[in-house]
Amino acid sequence: MSGLISISGFGASDTLVTLTKHTKHAQVPSPIALKFISPPVCTSLSFRPVALAAAIARTATTWDDAPKELLDGLQQSALIELATLLEDGSTFTLKSYFAFLADTAGSQFAAKVGAGMTHLYMEALGYEWRANAVCLSSSLDPHADFIYDGGNAAGHGVVLAEAHGSFAKDVTAGKITSAARRKYKKQVKPYIAATSTFGEVIHGYSIAFGSKPTAAGSFLSVSETRISKPRKKSGAAPPAPPEEGRPEGTPAPIVLATHRSNFMLMGVPEVVDWIDWLRAVDGAVPEQEPVPLLRLQYAGRTYLTSVPWVRRSGVQPWWIEEFFDHPYWWRMARHAHLPASQRLASGLVWFAIEEKGGAEFLNGLSAVIRGGRRQMPPSFLLPTFDPVGFGFVDGDRAVPGIRDEDDRSYDYAQFRDGLALLGDPFRGRPRDVVLWSPEGGVSLGQ
């Protein structure tokens, strides 16, 4: 398991998807949370292919109890499929290869892309933390796919998101809109105001995405809970103050669910093991060995990521000089002079996490480990970040903070919780290697 993944075929163009239809559904009683203000609708979504790839990998691994090995295989297959089947360009277009997929395989791929588009849309609205919504029902009754916290929902509860994708010859705007509405009524509406392990459900979305395999273009439809109270009709809605009595920060269960997926994607299974141990009622204590993490300077930012060739058991401290001598790094470095499109074609992407966000979570996790399972805090107070590589578009202008001009020569995506997929990691500069001690935390130095 490694955060460094070998694939090929990613494009480098910004793709623009425009909202086809936005529908609001009445809810009684309304509002569920008196101070919650839903974000304004996102009418256009812009993203790089690497951002959609990262979103698909994230949604494919948002399963709290699934084995690490299964999730690792799912995320790698999702990245390879997208690179193989999606054309590069400003308009969403499937490659002709899609026609050779069996019906079941085509439907599964459409579902993965629909989930990835849903995640990009929810992040564009400002939501930051996510978990699987399977906790809403112990039966086979349909329920929405994901639960989100943060952004405007912070301190008020959680919101639901149902994802749907369809790539069929007869796809139309009307069919995608009907799917969004139907799935909202069946899989979102019944759970509004329900209580989950992550908090009360205060709002919901059903997001449907579709495209014809034989033509360029796409359809995006959103169904959303209507809030029956007056509010401003234009401009960004500022987050309301948290409800009284709620702890500061983000509830611990959804932070742990998010970072379980994140560190699995990064190729750091030791962190996943400790999260699983904390959330279990029994089970053996994981290995106490320190875990090495590479600090990588990239696009003017510093990230923490896995060290690809480190043996995942019996790790011993070692000198940073070994990193520069290792063939993994030289394999990347010898392509550094190539244009971005050719570097991406060489087929290396790397999951990493923004240094401050990653280190603060790991130190918080160590504090919980020292206290034991019974000392789990109600929340974590962690930094969040503006997204890079995707975001909503205001007219012809990308909203400030979504993608800075200085970032455009780098092809990567970064999400609000700090997880990033580096599309050309060999442009990064290794700084040093730090160790995370399960009980002692991580010390970054200077």
Q: What is the pLDDT of residues 335-387, one digit of tens each?
A: 444 444 444 444 577 899 999 999 999 999 999 999 876 678 899 999 999 99
pLDDT the model gives residue 156: 95
| Structure-derived torsion over alpha carbons of residues 11, 16, 21, 24, reported in degrees to the nearest 10 | 90
Alpha-carbon distance of 190 to 181, in angstroms, equals: 13
Q: What is the pTM of this model?
A: 0.87
28-85 pLDDT, tens digit per residue, is 999 999 999 999 999 999 999 889 989 998 998 887 666 666 666 666 667 778 878 8
| Alpha helices for 228-380 (secondary structure H) | 252-266, 269-279, 321-325, 327-333, 340-345, 355-371
Which segments in the chain show pLDDT lower than 70?
1-11, 64-77, 138-140, 229-247, 308-347, 373-374, 394-408, 445-446
439 contacts 375 by C-beta, under 8 angstroms: no
Residue 47: name the closest of 389, 413, 414, 410 by CA: 389
Residue 153: name the closest of 260, 254, 261 by CA: 254
Residue 266: name the closest of 115, 426, 71 by CA: 71
370 contacts 440 by C-beta, under 8 angstroms: no
With DSSP H G I counted as helix, E B as strand and the rest as coil, what are the percentages for the chain, rounded to 5?
35, 25, 40
227 contacts 39 by C-beta, under 8 angstroms: no
Distance of alpha carbon 29 from the chain centroid: 31
**β-strand pairing of 441-442 with 429-437:** antiparallel
pLDDT the model gives residue 446: 55
Distance of alpha carbon 294 from the chain centroid: 21
5-17 pLDDT, tens digit per residue, is 555 556 678 899 9
pLDDT the model gives residue 81: 80
Task: Give, for 190, the enclosing helix (H) or strand (E).
Answer: none
SS3 assignment, position 219: strand
Q: Which residues are bridge partners to 434 per DSSP?
A: 293
Alpha-carbon distance of 364 to 362, in angstroms, equals: 5
Helices 252-266 and 355-371: angle between axes, nearest 10 degrees? 120
